[in-house]
Structure 1
Amino acid sequence: MKSKLINLIAIALLIANVSCTSEKKEKIKEPLKIDVSLTQNEISKGLLTPEIMWKFGRVDNPCLSPDGKMLTFTTTYYNLQENKGITHLYVVPTEGGEPKKLTNGVGSEYNPQWGSDGKTIRFISTESGNSKLWEVKTDGTGLHQISGIEGDIDGFCISPDGTKILYSKAVKLEKLSLDIHPDMNKANVRIIDNLMYRHWNYWEDGAYSHIFVANLKDGTIQNPKDINEGEKWDTPMATDFEINEVQWSPDGKKIVYCSKKLYGKDYAVSTNSDIYVYDLESGKTEDITSDNMGYDRHPSYSSDGQYIAWCSMATPGNEADQRRLFIVNIKTGQKTYLTQGFDQNVDQYVWSEDNKSIYFSSGVKGTKQLYKINIETKGITQITKGTHDYTLCQKQGGVLIGEKMSMSMAPEFFKVDEATGAETQITFTNKNIYDNIKMAEVQGRWVKTTDGKDMLVWVILPPNFDKTKKYPTLLYCQGGPQSTVSQFWSYRWNFQIMAANGYVIVAPNRRGVPSFGQAWNAQISGDYSGQNIKDYLSAIDDVRKESWVNNDKLGCVGASYGGYSVFYLAGHHQKRFKAFIAHCGMYNLESFYGATEETFFPNNDLGGPFWDKNNKIAQKSFENSPHKFIQNWDTPIMIITGERDYRIPYTESLQAFNAAQLRGIPSKLLVFPDETHFVAKPQNAVVWQREFFGWLDKWLK
């Protein structure tokens, strides 16, 4: 079974409440002990630390009751010493009140969904040792497992009338080495004859995620049918496998879903997913977006069954293209590009209850806000404003709920008045921590770039900031590369922890990030070493003019494309910086191209393969690979990587470290054998932070 970590990192850590150092399932006898109280020493210091970070409760999986009066959600807590975490189910009134904990066993819960009666909640739990479907009443009684599914399931959705269920699970379709050579049962080999043999953080194992439909009767699941039978691709789509991308029609007669129905090399070089409608009676499947060669994802029926909405990207092979909102009239087949003329992306969205509008979240100038669009007039209204990120929304019973975060607040749930934008906080998961620590001040400033554009730069000042003092200052290089430096809260690259360690952080929204229009976002493709690199330097050069910046103590840090940026700047920084840290960065673009898994990504972002000598864009990209400027490196550098990172394989970091060592440059290498592109396991993450600041303090303090 694949390990599905991309957007479900918490589930991967928690799914059986097992040790984060073990890949095997264990039979847990007692619930994990959780203590989120701060020590007296932590209270007296009053600053955020890596250890405190792992006391944060992490909310997720919100689902509104049909009448909008209750919100169910999950909260994940960790035990740092045990290196484990656990996720439980809660419910809270949307008018406010104390959340009620509905589960308290040894397993973890996720994917909660309300029954149509508004009195029961169904969810997936690992309580029995496997991922199974369970049910509980809103008062916490009636907790039981729903039987009838063999093996683990990954997600589910009950039909509107409650008589059927769709769910996703893995189906083995291809042979492994033991199947091919059964007499060699101690052999350990992967036999590969096509792409895409590994993806993000897992090797393909011959199994693919499929959607099953079954009857739901008397608490049991009966007569399951695989609607993707024989298909050697994942539905829901890898690597997030979101069951939200599979939905019932309101009459329960059809299922809409998205899938990239390609195999092998074709799958690796393409983003061409489509929206499919499956008819339960006939068993036939219709592709309703075959005319578009880019991504088509996140389909959703209107509650009256007249429309299907979805998000679409026009450019083949470009995963960071503009996300546009479409609807199709099911009777006429007429498609409408709703957000035409809107120069930002459409992120998560939900239909209004009267089906006349759609609510959605979108980035704008380094923040994320909630919007509403009228499907007839295409008029767009911005609902929220402020220095924050709203990352999702739901609407039921006249109640609009959003998940809100900022650089100073971990995600919490808020009720939003769509007429005024007024907010009411519903959950206060980490109040005990905020009451005892001092957060850094976050400022925004607009900086002129070398080509005369205005660029938003976030500047984070240490707690108890004193403008008469001088502070070591870090330039933060964003990954993605098409990822906004918004008001996100990160449990890895957390600006508040950096500031609490006495650093000023400079975080520019350089060229190539969304929320500043499509021209700004698209500029980076085919120009990794170009204007965006100049933007970084414009940001640090502007802030370093401040009297409180110690110009002799500047550092530069970043991950992924930010790691590429660090490697590139190490050869081009003209003595600005005194220390570098690169996490999972691209060092040698030729070896990166040859080893990464989603080949469509470098084909778009780098312009194509390095062997295409007639491709001027690609040749420019590879000529500016950071490894070609290693002779200019002259500054201490720490390099971090995870061995299970298949997006930017860990050998990129080994090459960079070896070169630094051979050139006599002070350098350090951190390799996490059981981590991916992200360092997500509790004790690994704390070690990451300790080494991060140990390196910076050594050279900048």
Structure 2
Amino acid sequence: MTITATKFTPEVMLSAPRRTPALPSPSGKRAVYAVSTYSFQDHKKTSQIRVLDIESGDSVSIVEDASASEPVWLGDDEVLYLKGGDAGITTLVVRHAWSAEAEPYEAGSVKAPISNVIVKKLPNGSFAFACSALTTPDGQLFNPETEKKPHSSARVYTGLFVRHWDAWNTRNKSSIFYGLLEQKDGKYALRNGTLTNALAGTGLSSPVPPFGGTGDFDIGPSGLVFVAKDPELDPAIYTKTNLYYIPLETFTESSAPPPRIINTPGLEGYSNSPVFSHCGRKVAFTRMRSNQYESDKPRLLLVPDITNPDKTEEFYATPDGVGGWDARPESIVWSHDDSKLYVTAEHRARTLIFQLASTPSRATALPVPIKTPDGSVVSFHLLRPNRDHSSSSSPADSDNDHLLVTSTSLVDNSCYSIADPAAQTATVISSASKEGKSFGLSRSAVDSITFRGAGGDYDVHALVVRPSTFDRGAANGNGNKKYPLCLLIHGGPQGAWLDAWSTRWNPAVFAEQGYVVVCPNPTGSTGYGMAFEDGIRGEWGGRPYNDLVRCVEWVAENMPEVDVTRAVALGASYGGFMINWIQGHPLGRKFKALVCHDGVFSTLNQWSSEELFFPIHDFEGTLYDNREAYEKWDPARFVSEWETPQLIIHGELDYRLPITEGLAAFNVLQARKVPSKLLVFPDENHWVLKHENSLVWHREVLGWINKYSGIENEQQLAEKVDGLKV
């Protein structure tokens, strides 16, 4: 399921196969993943579940069904997956992992949509099964297909958090369900055909919306751990999520014991990524310190004995509470002998895997990254020790660890590889885009620059992507062509441009139009230390804006192949705020055209958002206690300076930045007679996710910037020349 293209276009990118992370079988000989492809000719998506032979890199399709998802292993020979059906019913289907002749069979069914499946083999050979689903206030499964529709559409609220991301909040909450898959007559079946709501009657909800998934909970031989919002605090004002433990002996308990909270004195923010050790006694997880800062530094923590939830240990703790490891740990995997942890974290525009001792007392040296392919790690799993010598009887130890890594890069949308931490090697076994060549892309197009930031005492890093047809002589000032600058400004603002694939903001799509694309990570960006990230607080239009000014100046002075007189700039979310801020300031006159996607028109409107802890933190207080801080960085204060042609894009389901922000900016531009266009998606949220909508997005955006940068004229001229040649 690969494609071959001589030119990387939006159609090529959007129709390319999209693979989920690979999940290895217990023996480590095979891996299972799902893949989907969209056809703009048929206007529909096709989906498969495939099994990969890790040794050869060959794969076969075992399921072709758009309603099939979330495959997991039941032993080495069988795969379980979810199949959505009529009336919202979900079926648990099991089929042989390699034999196409074997008939699939049903292991159970649930009368509601479920997701986020985790299975763990228990000592008796059965499998503990866990998933998530929406539940009604009384703890019952919620099925929107069979729900009785009310006669009125009215909604009544008496508290904060009335809507979140792209949906109005209801009384239904997400819950974790568990059950037991046991084998009888050679087939697995869900015991008693039922699942139990682990959170019934607790007032807790997990996974945490809108993005919570399997990273919010884990199951082990002794029970279930999960994170949930603190029910005593308002979720609109506070970020606090606690870690809880529910002991389960058989996973057949008809009702779960009460959850036990894991105590972490001094740390009151987000909890994430709980993972049981292989022995089942320990749990590693992350937690932030601040309960009103969603981008605070996660601290890596250990529960030495899950039966004693009052004792936790912090890795790299320091007396001042800052912590000795200046990174943001995310996902966690234990080594086979539980002596090491493998943890992902961002580092200078990449997501890497770091290794460290699994107990704080032995983790005296800072974590070191292991070798992985170019780009950023998306997901990784432990392979069975001595997988190349299955008959070996030597005990498992961390020196035998091999990791099955799923990664992406700016030129590769999916890469599966095997990383050997001890040998510091990474071997690619399957690349969806054959190292980008099927897209007409090349690693040689990717570069980076570093320039002095606005403060004068720090550096700013930026990724650079050039066209695949780039004239190398131009970089030395000897070429026959100069390329317009395309400046991409990331959102967050606590985020970063990564050496990673994207179908929403892919720098290569812009580069292939004929731009040199520069993606700076200014003050506020993640992956460069917490002081750099925290520097944006109270500085939304200050240091980050001046860093961007320095960026454009550096490009003009040091990159002779770039034509900054034909520059364009684009940004979304906070990047959209920055576009509107730039529009009212001198840097705005440096660009021929601007594009603002779901951006901020006025910071005084930040309280029309849903997660109010975000503006409270970044603007150093509430709107009523510190209005001056909101007014200081308000783009609407400078609309009298707006004069650069600008495209405004907004999704009507964006409740983080309501559509009125886009409408207000467009109305100002139109009233001032500034060339402008408004693109609205009634069925999209903060992101444009639907294939057909995304194609329109790309055509409108590229058409807009190409018109004002002059690339449109170059393309038309090239078409005429090609016509004459014919």
Give ranges in structure 2 of 5+ residues lacking alignment: 140-146, 250-255, 318-323, 386-401, 711-726
What does residue 6 of structure 1 align with? none
Aligned-pair distance for 1:457? 1.6
Residue 458 to residue 665, structure 1, CA distance change in 2 (3 Å): same
Give ranges in structure 1 of 5+ residues lacking alignment: 1-34, 176-181
CA distance in 1, matches of 2:663, 2:50: 44
CA contact (8 A) 1:54 1:80 kept: no
Identify which range, 94-103 or 643-652, moves more after superposition: 94-103
Residue 404 to residue 184, structure 1, CA distance change in 2 (3 Å): closer
- Equivalent in 299, 315, 330 of residue 338 of structure 1: 315
User: Which amino acid in 1 is paired with 2:156?
Assistant: I
Aligned-pair distance for 1:596? 0.8
What does residue 137 of structure 2 align with? 173
Alignment of 1:598-613 (within 5 A): 598-612=611-625
Alignment of 1:538-577 (within 5 A): 538-545=550-557, 546-574=559-587, 575-577=589-591
CA distance in 2, matches of 1:516, 1:396: 31
CA distance in 1, matches of 2:464, 2:289: 35
- Equivalent in 412, 415, 424 of residue 412 of structure 1: 415
What does residue 261 of structure 2 align with? 287
Q: What SS does the corresponding residue of 2:568 show, helix, strand or coil?
A: strand
CA distance in 2, matches of 1:82, 1:259: 42
CA distance in 1, matches of 2:349, 2:431: 25
Q: What SS does the corresponding residue of 1:414 show, helix, strand or coil?
A: strand
What does residue 462 of structure 1 align with? 467
Q: What SS does the corresponding residue of 1:501 show, helix, strand or coil?
A: coil
CA contact (8 A) 1:597 1:646 kept: yes
Residue 694 to residue 61, structure 1, CA distance change in 2 (3 Å): same
Is 1:262 aligned to 2:231, yes or no? Answer: yes
CA contact (8 A) 2:162 2:168 kept: yes
- Equivalent in 662, 676, 679 of residue 667 of structure 1: 676
CA distance in 1, matches of 2:17, 2:175: 32
CA contact (8 A) 1:75 1:89 kept: yes
CA contact (8 A) 2:277 2:338 kept: yes
CA distance in 2, matches of 1:313, 1:572: 36
Q: What SS does the corresponding residue of 2:552 show, helix, strand or coil?
A: helix
In the superposition, the TM-score normalised over structure 2's length comes to 0.85
Alignment of 1:254-653 (within 5 A): 254-262=223-231, 266-280=234-248, 283-289=257-263, 291=265, 292-330=267-305, 333-340=310-317, 341-376=324-359, 377-378=362-363, 379=365, 380-384=367-371, 387-398=374-385, 399-431=402-434, 434-435=437-438, 437-439=440-442, 441-452=445-456, 453-466=458-471, 467=474, 468=479, 469-545=481-557, 546-574=559-587, 575-591=589-605, 593-612=606-625, 615=626, 619-653=628-662
CA distance in 1, matches of 2:338, 2:83: 33
CA distance in 2, matches of 1:244, 1:635: 44
CA distance in 2, matches of 1:423, 1:677: 36
What does residue 115 of structure 2 align with? 154
CA distance in 1, matches of 2:263, 2:47: 37
Aligned-pair distance for 1:433? 7.1
Aligned-pair distance for 1:392? 2.3
Identify which range, 634-643 or 455-464, moves more after superposition: 455-464
Residue 411 to residue 621, structure 1, CA distance change in 2 (3 Å): farther
Is 1:192 aligned to 2:179, yes or no? Answer: no
Aligned-pair distance for 1:339? 4.2
Residue 565 to residue 352, structure 1, CA distance change in 2 (3 Å): same
Aligned-pair distance for 1:662? 1.0
Residue 95 to residue 651, structure 1, CA distance change in 2 (3 Å): same
Is 1:89 aligned to 2:54, yes or no? Answer: no
Residue 37 to residue 517, structure 1, CA distance change in 2 (3 Å): closer
CA contact (8 A) 2:412 2:436 kept: no
User: Which amino acid in 1 is paired with 2:263?
Assistant: T
Aligned-pair distance for 1:80? 2.2
Aligned-pair distance for 1:36? 5.9
User: Which amino acid in 1 is paired with 2:84?
Assistant: T
Is 1:68 aligned to 2:28, yes or no? Answer: yes
Alignment of 1:182-221 (within 5 A): 186-217=151-182, 218=184, 219-221=189-191
User: Which amino acid in 1 is paired with 2:347?
Assistant: V
CA distance in 1, matches of 2:171, 2:614: 24
Residue 322 to residue 478, structure 1, CA distance change in 2 (3 Å): same
Residue 325 to residue 83, structure 1, CA distance change in 2 (3 Å): farther
User: Which amino acid in 1 is paired with 2:153?
Assistant: N
CA contact (8 A) 2:482 2:560 kept: yes
Q: What SS does the corresponding residue of 1:431 show, helix, strand or coil?
A: coil
What does residue 27 of structure 1 align with? none
- Equivalent in 93, 96, 99 of residue 134 of structure 1: 93
Q: What SS does the corresponding residue of 2:692 show, helix, strand or coil?
A: helix
CA contact (8 A) 2:373 2:428 kept: no
CA distance in 2, matches of 1:432, 1:605: 40
CA distance in 1, matches of 2:663, 2:111: 43
What does residue 723 of structure 2 align with? none
CA distance in 2, matches of 1:485, 1:232: 38
Q: What SS does the corresponding residue of 1:145 show, helix, strand or coil?
A: strand
CA distance in 1, matches of 2:127, 2:568: 60
Deviation string 1:447-466 (CA, Å, 9 cap, x unpaired) is 11222221112222222212
CA contact (8 A) 1:414 1:427 kept: yes
Q: What SS does the corresponding residue of 2:121 show, helix, strand or coil?
A: coil
CA distance in 1, matches of 2:96, 2:69: 15
What does residue 657 of structure 1 align with? 666
Residue 335 to residue 373, structure 1, CA distance change in 2 (3 Å): same
What does residue 30 of structure 1 align with? none
CA contact (8 A) 1:472 1:550 kept: yes
Residue 436 to residue 661, structure 1, CA distance change in 2 (3 Å): closer
Aligned-pair distance for 1:599? 1.1
CA contact (8 A) 2:273 2:330 kept: no
Residue 155 to residue 404, structure 1, CA distance change in 2 (3 Å): closer
Task: State the percentage of identical aligned residues.
Answer: 27
Identify which range, 691-700 or 184-193, moves more after superposition: 184-193
Aligned-pair distance for 1:131? 3.5
Residue 174 to residue 566, structure 1, CA distance change in 2 (3 Å): farther
CA contact (8 A) 2:51 2:98 kept: no
Residue 94 to residue 289, structure 1, CA distance change in 2 (3 Å): farther
CA distance in 2, matches of 1:432, 1:542: 31
What does residue 14 of structure 1 align with? none
Aligned-pair distance for 1:370? 1.5
What does residue 19 of structure 1 align with? none
User: Which amino acid in 2 is paired with 1:62?
Assistant: A
Q: How many residues align?
A: 646
What does residue 77 of structure 2 align with? 119
In the superposition, the TM-score normalised over structure 1's length comes to 0.87
Aligned-pair distance for 1:343? 0.7
CA contact (8 A) 1:124 1:134 kept: yes
CA distance in 1, matches of 2:455, 2:170: 49
Q: What SS does the corresponding residue of 2:135 show, helix, strand or coil?
A: strand
CA distance in 1, matches of 2:148, 2:223: 46
Residue 207 to residue 651, structure 1, CA distance change in 2 (3 Å): same
User: Which amino acid in 2 is paired with 1:428?
Assistant: S
CA distance in 1, matches of 2:350, 2:127: 42
CA distance in 2, matches of 1:159, 1:417: 24
